[in-house]
Amino acid sequence: MSLFKAASLAKSSRLAALPVLAAALLLGACSSPSNPDVSARQDIMKNYGDAMGVMGDMMKNPDTFDAAKFQEQAAYLADTANSPWKHFQDKEAVGNATDMVWSNAAGFTAEAEKFQQAATDLNFVAQNANGIADVGAEFKEVGASCKSCHTDYKQKDD
pLDDT in tens, 111-138: 999 999 999 999 999 999 999 999 999 9
pLDDT level of residue 28 (50, 70, 90 thresholds) = very low
pLDDT of residue 157: 77
Instruction: Break the chain down into helix, strand, coil percent, rounded to 5.
Output: 80, 0, 20
| Residue 99 clears pLDDT 60, i.e. is over it | yes
Q: Is the pLDDT of residue 72 over 50?
A: yes
pLDDT on residue 156 = 87
C-alpha–C-alpha distance, residues 86 and 116, integer Å: 14
Which fold does the domain 34-153 belong to in CATH? Four Helix Bundle (Hemerythrin (Met), subunit A) (1.20.120)
